DNA sequence: TTGAAAGCGCTACCAA
DNA sequence: TTGGTAGCGCTTTCAA
């Protein structure tokens, strides 16, 4: 392995000078610079970032802790984080905790030891233990989570109440008067509570009084499917089903389909999220699209601003959503 | 920031001793150990891995370069890499190149400077420039790619020829005698060539002579959809369509659906890959399932073996595939 | 414009 | 079982 010392010796200069030409940090005479560059080329010298980190106290590393990378929206966010991070010369250290608090704690410690300069937490909800640890680490950190239990934290989010309001409103405008809202969890998160509020507000503002809110035990495709099966078996007279997320929505849709109930002919279904799959399934899913790539991009952009000590960094960032109108809903007016 | 020196001073011992208790590397008397531990607790001291890396010459970092994390199978592989990596205390530095050779080169250099101990390359195909650079870096590296141009490289793969042979055979056993194979690219990769060979072998062994091989200009959903539209418009008399990958398959299926052609009633469609979406779409897709999580897991396990200098590391790893039989194919016998 | 030297935080050797 | 110290590869003063 060739080091800066070797280069210096071979070029007949001091290591300071070599450092200067590598980093372009101070003027170096043309001849010396060329000589050094030549030696670097000949020897194939490559600076060691670990050594550099130690003295500059900069790692240009950002730790990202996710629950599960195989959720398409998580992958999309990480992609945004990674790509924008790279634009600012930051690298991503990826950790996936699979919803486990112990793992999250472990990775928090790990990232700290690795001198990560910032943290991005992408998850569903966090134990107080995690929140406390994050505060203790005292590093720039940004959350994307469904449950914001601590107001001193920095996060990026979507105004889910308005989003669900608009979605529900759209459903109603399509003539639906008997609507089921499928909530994703019995243990209410602030995020889910907001969505339900949006739904209720829309229903109230439109004087719809035949509606129901049911809970599915989980938030994945599987659970949605099971729920849809139960629904099919017991029968129902809703004309529209509003789901708290896309996976639940296409879980339900597939169960209906497999039980001979047609969407949107027999019942309309709408989702929330705008996951990749929502445009691939048939009928394509009407949904609220959350800009996951952008969420990741904005999160890291903001984090880097804070790391670089810029002044005007916002603490709470609201990103716009869009209503994606597709084929899973029918106008029954 | 509290360093090992502070701990040593506060505990009234030398830094060597502190180092020993942190790493449990040499015997330390019970009293001294307890005193040191106490000071560590009080001060909240956390060792700096950067400094440690510099002296031990170990980073425990593995660089992963992918093309696009938003492909579900890539995310699945990275998940396998990350989770198994963590089991062995290795961390993942994630880079996404978006199919760009320049970016790949840049990340290769970056990972080298960051002292990554190994490299995992997940991609479609690589320029010679990349292969050369990888060789030059002379680090343990493992590929998962569709085009293996250099036999000295280490890779993990699926026997795609056998897989496609079995799939085609299955289609034929279902009574199909007029089959279209949809290839994904005009510029043949070794991987695609193998699949085609598997298809041809099966067709030949079964004395089927009405078959066709067509090319779609790309390998994503979009291109599959476009291809399916063209197919629908011009009409066809194939009874089955074998696709080179799942995205193409459901692209085609959706185009057929949107044009009133029913799968599997009017035509059977099968895919290759076993992407997450293949079980969600309706009809669910019959496909060859490649074990992406395992591919990632095996790749990194093997890489770590090489890094740790174990003897019996294989260079070419073949992983088993499975035929996933679902609803997109109909028996027409 | 250049070089000498201190030192980043740690491990590991050698001596005690 | 402990401490002293060299040194990992680099940046960054300070002086020349």
* DSSP codes, B131-171: HHHHHHHT--EEEE-S----TTS-EEEE-HHHHHHHHHHHH
pLDDT-based confidence at B186, cuts 50/70/90? low
User: Does B55 contact strand C, using a CB cutoff of 7 Å?
Assistant: yes
Per-residue pLDDT band at A310 (split at 50, 70, 90) = confident
pLDDT in tens, B19-55: 999 999 988 999 999 999 999 999 999 999 999 999 9
A chain contacts of residue B136, beta-carbon cutoff 8 Å = 44
- Alpha helices per DSSP H over chain B: 4-11, 15-23, 30-43, 49-56, 72-87, 101-113, 128-137, 160-173, 190-205, 221-234, 246-258, 292-307
> Is A78 touching B (CB cutoff 8 A)?
yes
Q: By the CB < 8 Å criterion, does A225 face chain B?
A: no
According to the model, what pLDDT value does residue B82 have? 97
Q: By percentage, how much of chain B surpasses pLDDT 90?
A: 89
Residues A139-163 have a mean pLDDT of: 91
Q: Report chain A residues whose CB lies below 8 A from the CB of B280.
A: 221, 250, 254, 277, 281
B28 touches strand D (CB under 7 A): yes
Q: What is the mean pLDDT of residues A226-249?
A: 97
- CB-CB: which of A53, A76, A78 is closest to B50? A53
Contacts of A92 in chain B (CB under 8 A): 93-95
Q: Tell me: the pLDDT tens digits for B105-157?
A: 999 999 999 999 999 999 988 999 999 999 999 999 999 998 877 888 999 99
| B84 close to A (CB below 8 A) | no
What is the number of helices (H) and of strands (E) in chain A? Answer: 12, 12
Where does A176-307 have alpha helices with state H? 190-205, 221-234, 246-258, 292-307
In three-state secondary structure terms, B286 is strand
Please report the domains of chain B, with CATH numbers, ordered by start residue.
4-56 (1.10.260.40), 61-158+292-319 (3.40.50.2300), 160-289 (3.40.50.2300)
The bases of strand C with some atom under 7 A from any protein CB are 1-5, 7-13
Residue A72 CB in 7 A reach of strand D: no
pLDDT of residue A186: 65
Chain D positions with a protein C-beta closer than 7 Å: 1-5, 7-13
> Rounded to whole angstroms, how far apart are CA atoms B143 and B149?
11
Of B51, B69, B282, the CB nearest to A75: B69
Alpha carbon distance B124, B177 (integer Å): 32
Q: What is the mean pLDDT of residues B261-282?
A: 96
pLDDT score of B61: 98
User: Greater confidence, B253 or A147?
Assistant: B253
For residue A274, pLDDT over 70 is answered with: yes
Residue A156 clears pLDDT 90, i.e. is over it: yes
Q: What is the pLDDT of chain B when averaged over all its residues?
A: 95
Amino acid B187: pLDDT: 67
A319 at interface of B, judged by CB pairs closer than 8 A: no
B322-324 β-sheet, strand order: B210-215, B178-183, B240-243, B268-273, B286-289, B322-324
Q: Does B58 touch chain A (CB under 8 A)?
A: no
% residues pLDDT > 70 (chain A): 99
The SS3 of residue B242 is strand
* Contact present, A144 and A295 (Cβ < 8 Å): yes
- B215 with B193: CB under 8 angstroms? no
Q: Among A48, A76, A93, whose Cβ lies nearest the Cβ of B91?
A: A93
Measure CA B23 to chain center: 35
CA dihedral B73, B78, B80, B82 (to 10 degrees): -170
Residue A190's pLDDT band (cuts 50, 70, 90): confident
Q: Is the pLDDT of residue B228 over 80?
A: yes
Q: For residue B306, what pLDDT is reported?
A: 95
Alpha-carbon distance values, A130 to A93, A104, A133, A274, A275 (Å)? 18, 7, 5, 29, 27
How confident is residue A246, by pLDDT bands cut at 50, 70 and 90?
very high
A50 C-beta less than 7 Å away from strand C: no
Residue of A150, A156, A158, A109 lying closest to A127 (CA atoms): A150
What integer pLDDT is reported at residue A187 of this predicted model?
A: 67
Whether residue A208 is predicted with pLDDT greater than 80 in this model: the reply is yes
Q: Least CB-CB distance to B82: which of A49, A96, A254?
A: A96
A58 touches strand D (CB under 7 A): no
pTM comes to 0.95
What is the distance between the alpha carbons of residues A86 and A75, in angstroms, rounded to a whole number?
16
């Amino acid at each position: 392995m060739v080091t800066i010392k070797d280069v210096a010796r071979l070029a007949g200069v001091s290591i300071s000078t070599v450092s200067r030409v590598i980093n372009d940090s101070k003027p170096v005479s043309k001849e010396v610079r060329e000589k050094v560059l030549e030696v670097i080329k000949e020897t194939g010298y490559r600076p060691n970032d670990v050594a550099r980190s130690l003295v500059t106290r900069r790692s240009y590393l950002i730790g990202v802790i996710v629950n599960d990378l195989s959720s398409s929206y998580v992958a999309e966010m990480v992609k945004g984080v990674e790509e924008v991070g790279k634009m600012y010369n930051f690298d991503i250290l990826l950790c996936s905790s699979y919803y486990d608090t112990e793992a999250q704690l472990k990775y928090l410690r790990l990232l700290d030891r690795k001198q990560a300069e910032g943290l991005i937490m992408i998850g569903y909800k966090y134990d107080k233990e995690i929140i406390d640890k994050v505060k203790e680490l005292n590093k720039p950190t940004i959350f994307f989570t469904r449950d914001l239990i601590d107001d001193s934290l920095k996060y990026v989010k979507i105004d889910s109440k308005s989003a669900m309001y608009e979605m529900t409103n759209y459903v109603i405008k399509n003539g639906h008067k008997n609507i089921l809202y499928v909530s994703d969890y019995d243990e209410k998160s602030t995020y889910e509570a907001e969505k339900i509020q949006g739904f209720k507000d829309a229903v109230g503002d439109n004087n719809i009084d035949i509606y129901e809110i049911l809970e599915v035990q989980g938030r994945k495709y599987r659970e949605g499917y099971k729920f849809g099966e139960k629904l099919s078996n017991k029968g129902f007279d809703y004309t529209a089903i509003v789901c708290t997320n896309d996976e639940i929505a296409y879980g339900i849709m597939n169960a209906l389909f497999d039980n001979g109930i047609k969407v949107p002919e027999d019942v309309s279904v709408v989702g929330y999220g705008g996951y990749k799959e929502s445009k691939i399934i048939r009928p394509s899913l009407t949904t609220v699209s959350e800009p996951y790539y952008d969420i990741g991009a904005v999160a890291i952009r903001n984090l880097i601003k804070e790391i670089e000590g810029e002044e005007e960094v916002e603490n709470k960032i609201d990103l716009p959503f869009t209503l994606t109108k597709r084929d899973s809903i029918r106008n029954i007016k």
